[in-house]
Structure 1
């Protein structure tokens, strides 16, 4: 029975990792579509969002089944609950990617600033890499790596702040840029929120190993109401 339970738990981890890769791809495509002004890519992100949501439901359903049927001991129960909580954070990251994609779809021939768009692409790549690193750290239960990743969130916050400030300055110089540039601020804000959820994942890794909620950044979005 224990061997079967371990196999099911490993399968749950694998499903979580696959969901994470789906989210990472969604983030990448959403910004790619925005920078390239490619509505077809943006629509793909929006249309595929249900796949991420369905994966979350599958993981949560399987988690509940394991708890109900296997009656796991405390350490195993913590692993299952951690996956459930973490996949909810992944789903929210996917929602922010959809927000970025929708910004691409609603933009119609507005004046653009290619330098700012390039900076958004660079910021997005950094966020995507943090998502992927956090997924690996989660699967490997690597607390040391999780803490290192969480420290990067402040840098993402700074990038968002600088980009938004720069965008506002450009809007003041050129009124024709106002509507299009407002989307730059919106996209940067969504990328910053994704980074916050990466910090959440890192905190779940620490919780998984220690059983204690530890805030790795004081401004994150972690729900402290856990087992």
Structure 2
């Protein structure tokens, strides 16, 4: 799942990026309100974490514009202000949840997972294909009842493939979604990552699920 963090404090942004990435999320971070609004409107995010006090435009304005453009991703507001009117304002403008700084990362992670479970853009928590099962929220995968020992990056790659079962994904799209939006797809990092994932997901089992479409990319499906 892909998250956007709009937070101008560099330490907080780095803290969130590292913690959420370690739990298997794909995370983009941006410091300014205008830049954050642009990414939120043009990207495909499952959830947005939005600070209120931002340069360029504040979080209230970003929130208002996102809902005006009918962006359906759940929005978690972050603020150092614990006043009830601020919380009410955020909820009335379309925020889904509210977290006051300072906060424990475990608390933020619980809020994120709860929003993803009930958010309007959520997918099923557990996806299945043949004997492969992927738990998107708990970041666990198993095949034939055997737990797959995946790195966070491998899990992100497998999650992308199973969320698009039967759809051929180009190397460029995979690189953009799993690594970075500015990733240069002329390297073989996608092919290397697919080979490593196949060793864990396919090679120990009789039926192959990850297939190469020559000249295009990769697809997860039964054949």
Give the number of the structure with larger relative contact order, counting CA–CA contacts within 8 Å between residues 6 or more apart. 1
Q: TM-score range by the shorter chain?
A: under 0.3
Between Structure 1 and Structure 2, the one with more helix by share is: 1
TM score, norm. by length of structure 2: 0.27
TM score, norm. by length of structure 1: 0.27
